[in-house]
Structure 1
Amino acid sequence: MVDDIDAEVAALKSRGVTFEEYDLPGCRTADGVCRVEGVGRAGYFKDSEGNLLGLVQFG
């Protein structure tokens, strides 16, 4: 959970993290961040072992 997803995504991207891009009903990303209806905004990336991790900003 983060307070400012845009800042966190930018910081991680500056360190080489690649965010997943999705075009799904309810989650269409723009620059690695999607709006999730009724929840807030989220961004997803994979760690070095292929695990999917996510950031979420509620609201």
Structure 2
Amino acid sequence: MFCLFASAGAAEGAFTQLAFSVDDIETEVADLRRRGVVFEEYDLPGMRTVDGIADIAGNYPSKGTRERGAWFRDSEGNMLGMGQSLP
């Protein structure tokens, strides 16, 4: 699935610019870490990462009832993410 949203201006990289759907987020995060990728860590009301991965209540209704997510930056500082839909 590819979703495109209109922007009101230039992206400054603070929000997710691109996200990938994965089947096993723990394996993907571990693989990318071995390659030098640094994952964002968050401790916010309603969202906290543990080892770079957050458990997220809710999701697109057709995909499942919850999701696990992780975020990292590309070489230009854009925020990229990955998510695993769970039942």
Return the TM-score normalized by structure 2: 0.66
- Give the residue type in structure 2 aligned to 1:21: E
**Aligned position for 2:14:** none
C-alpha displacement of 1:26: 2.0
**Amino acid aligned to 2:69:** A
User: What corresponds to 1:10 in structure 2?
Assistant: 30
Question: Where in structure 1 are there 5+ consecutive unaligned residues?
Answer: none
In terms of Rg, which structure is larger? 2
Once superposed, what is the RMSD of the aligned Cα atoms?
Answer: 0.7
Letter of the structure 2 residue corresponding to residue 19 of structure 1? F
Question: Scaled by the length of structure 1, what TM-score is found?
Answer: 0.95
CA deviations on 1:1-59 (whole Å, 9 max, x unpaired) are 00000000000000000000000122100000000112310000000000000000011
Higher helix share: 1
Runs of 5+ consecutive residues of structure 2 not aligned to the other structure: 1-20, 59-65
Deviates more, 1:37-46 or 1:1-10: 37-46
Identity of aligned residues (%): 58
- Detail structure 1 runs of 4+ shifted over 6 Å in the superposition: none
**Which residue does the alignment assign to 2:85?**
58
Q: Any conservation in 2 of the 1:34–1:43 contact (CA below 8 Å)?
A: yes
